[in-house]
Every structure is written in structure tokens, then in C-alpha cells.
């Protein structure tokens, strides 16, 4: 006789095997997964956007269609938010959570639809449609005031900015977890992004500095050009400086090895 434990294992293995007579599962359509693959301009057959819901008397619907500035085609994979306030410069790339009413990543049709329920605590004044994240310098447009039963429809033109990825290593070759990474234009002028300039800025590094992740990897949205690169360990030690020329495309991440002793700042 086959032991009961072995019988159970055999039965579990049979259940795990695909059925020979069954249908093969189809992959999810690209429109359903594009939000995880970064922004892309939709070409070819463009899937239709869903019809916006009809708002109730205590609701406002916002319909934003994000299109490529050059081609006019929709952009999928755009990280967009509806905000109750204009972010301060230091929060333009990542708005404070208290200001985020709704967020979404657009499918291939490029349309984002938000249904906002009215509450006594929420002011009915102007709201803002904000775009940031991979592939975009942060910016916003006015989306409309909260009016019961109202649908605001608007088109937002955007341009995908090339992304440059770095791998930062410590002097011993290990990956530099949480490295401090700055990539700013080769200029002494303060750097502001999108509509940050309208709010002023207190630091030339606003919008230019990122923390590497646990693997020492960091990605910047940058147009082709020459940049001042200065990376360091998470403690601020082992500072590395160089002029970095970005062509706008890369086959693999750029490796930066931090020096054993910090370099003198060359500019």
C-alpha cells in the first residue's frame, strides 16, 4: 500500500499540473498592465476610454486625457493625481499625502477618471491635476472646482523625458544602499521643475537629488545634455564628482564607484 502521506503528495502534484483538455490562459491585455511598465505613447489601434459616470448631486467627476505633445496620441502609464493644493517646491515631485485626493496610472487610452464624493470637510474650491513620476518633470494643471453634478473634462499635453539609471557602489564594490545622488544641469543657476518656478525655491538642489534604493540603484528623468554629478554614501562620505554627458539613451545602467576618500568639489 502507498503511505497516506505519499498519496497526498501525489494528489497535490496532479492538481498542480495543467489540464490537457483545458484552454490555455491568455496573457492580460497590455492596457491592463501598462501601469507597471512605465509611460509609453500609444501607437497603432488605440483602445477606447471608458465612458465617465454621471455624477450625483453630491459628486464631481474629473476626466483628464493625457496625450503626447508631439503626436497627439494618448500616453499610458502616467502617474497622475488629483490634489487639493498646489505643492510647495520640495513636494512637487512627491506631493504630501494630505493633499492627494486620488491617484491613478493611465492605461493605454491615456484617460484618467476620478469620481470625488463631496464631504462637509472638503473645500469646494479649485483642484489640481498633477503629473510626475518616471518619465516626467512634475507639473500640474487646474482641474476645476468641486460642483455637485458637474463633470470636468480636459486634455493635458505631456512629453516623456528620457530616464537615466545608475548603480552606485561603495569603494569595496558593494552596492551603496541609500546613496545620496545629485544630477543637476551644468549651471550655477537654481534648478526648478515644471511649475515649481511659480512658487519660488530655496535650494538649487530641489528636483535634482534622489536617494538610491536598497540595491544602490537610482533613476533620474533627464533631457539629453551635460550635468554635474555628485554622489555619496548615505552618510555623506565618499563623495564623487564628475561632469556627466547624457545622450538620452542607454543600453545598461551607468556604474559609479565611490572613492575611498571624498573628492574635492570641482565647481
Question: Which residue segments constitute the domains of the chain, with CATH numbers given?
Answer: 36-158 (2.60.40.2190), 163-257 (2.60.40.1120)
How far apart, in whole angstroms, are the C-alpha atoms of residue 182 and residue 199?
22
Dihedral (Cα; 37, 42, 43, 47), 10-degree rounding: 110
pLDDT band at 192 (very low <50, low <70, confident <90, very high): very low
Q: Which helix (H) or strand (E) holds 242?
A: strand 240-246
- Whether the pLDDT of residue 14 is over 70: the answer is no
Most confident of 86-90, 200-204, 213-217: 213-217
Q: Residues in the chain, how many?
A: 267
**Which pLDDT does position 267 carry in this prediction?**
86
Burial state string for 116-146 with b = 16 or more CB within 10 A and e = fewer than 16: bebeeeeeeeebbbbbbbbbbbbbbeebbeb
User: CA-to-CA distance for 168 and 231, rounded, in angstroms?
Assistant: 8
Chain centroid, CA 37 distance in Å? 10
CB 173: neighbour CB atoms within 10 A?
7
Residue 245: its pLDDT value, please? 96
pLDDT at 26 over 50: no
Q: Are 152 and 60 in contact (CB under 8 A)?
A: yes
**100-105 β-sheet, strand order:** 100-105, 79-83, 126-132, 139-145
pLDDT confidence bin for 201, thresholds 50/70/90: very low
User: What pLDDT is attached to residue 6?
Assistant: 43
Per-chain mean pLDDT for the chain: 84
Whether the per-residue pLDDT at 11 is higher than 80: the answer is no
Distances (CA, A) of 120 to 61, 83, 123, 129: 17, 17, 8, 22
| Cross-strand pairs, 127 | 144
**Which pLDDT tens digit goes with each residue over 133-154?**
999 999 999 999 999 999 999 9
**How far is residue 2 from each of residues 7, 10, 145, measured CA to CA in Å?**
6, 10, 72
pLDDT of residue 188: 66
Q: Which residues contact 208 (CB under 8 A, 6 or more apart)?
A: 182, 183, 184, 191
Look at residue 28 in the predicted model and tell me its pLDDT: 32
Q: Can you read off the three cell numbers belonging to residue 180?
A: 545620496
Nearest to 82 by CA among 54, 62, 68, 67: 62
- pLDDT tens digits for range 249-265: 999 999 999 999 999 99
Residue with the larger pLDDT of the pair 74 and 267: 74
Question: Residue 90: what are its φ and ψ, rounded to 5°?
Answer: -70, -10
Amino acid at each position: 500500500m502507498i503511505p497516506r502521506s505519499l498519496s497526498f503528495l501525489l494528489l497535490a502534484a496532479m492538481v498542480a499540473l495543467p489540464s490537457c483538455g483545458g484552454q490555455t490562459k491568455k496573457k492580460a491585455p497590455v492596457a491592463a498592465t501598462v501601469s507597471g511598465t512605465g509611460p509609453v505613447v500609444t501607437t497603432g489601434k488605440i483602445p477606447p476610454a471608458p465612458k465617465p459616470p454621471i455624477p450625483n448631486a453630491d459628486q464631481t467627476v474629473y476626466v483628464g486625457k493625457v496625450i503626447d505633445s508631439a503626436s497627439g496620441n494618448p500616453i499610458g502609464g502616467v502617474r497622475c493625481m488629483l490634489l487639493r493644493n498646489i505643492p510647495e517646491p520640495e513636494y512637487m515631485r512627491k506631493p504630501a499625502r494630505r493633499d492627494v485626493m486620488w491617484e491613478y496610472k493611465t492605461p493605454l487610452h491615456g484617460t484618467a477618471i476620478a469620481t470625488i464624493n463631496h464631504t462637509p470637510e472638503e473645500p469646494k474650491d479649485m483642484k489640481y491635476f498633477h503629473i510626475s513620476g518616471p518619465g516626467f518633470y512634475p507639473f500640474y494643471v487646474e482641474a476645476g472646482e468641486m460642483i455637485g453634478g458637474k463633470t470636468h473634462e480636459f486634455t493635458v499635453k505631456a512629453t516623456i523625458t528620457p530616464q537615466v539609471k545608475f548603480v552606485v557602489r561603495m569603494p569595496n564594490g558593494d552596492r551603496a544602499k541609500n546613496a545620496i545622488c545629485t544630477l543637476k544641469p551644468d549651471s550655477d543657476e537654481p534648478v526648478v521643475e515644471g511649475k515649481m518656478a511659480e512658487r519660488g525655491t530655496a535650494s538649487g538642489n530641489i528636483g535634482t537629488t534622489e536617494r538610491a534604493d536598497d540595491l544602490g540603484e537610482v533613476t533620474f528623468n533627464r533631457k539629453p545634455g551635460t550635468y554635474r554629478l555628485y554622489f555619496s554614501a548615505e552618510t555623506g562620505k565618499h563623495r564623487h564628482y564628475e561632469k556627466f554627458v547624457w545622450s538620452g539613451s542607454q543600453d545598461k545602467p551607468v556604474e559609479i564607484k565611490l572613492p575611498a576618500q571624498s573628492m574635492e568639489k570641482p565647481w
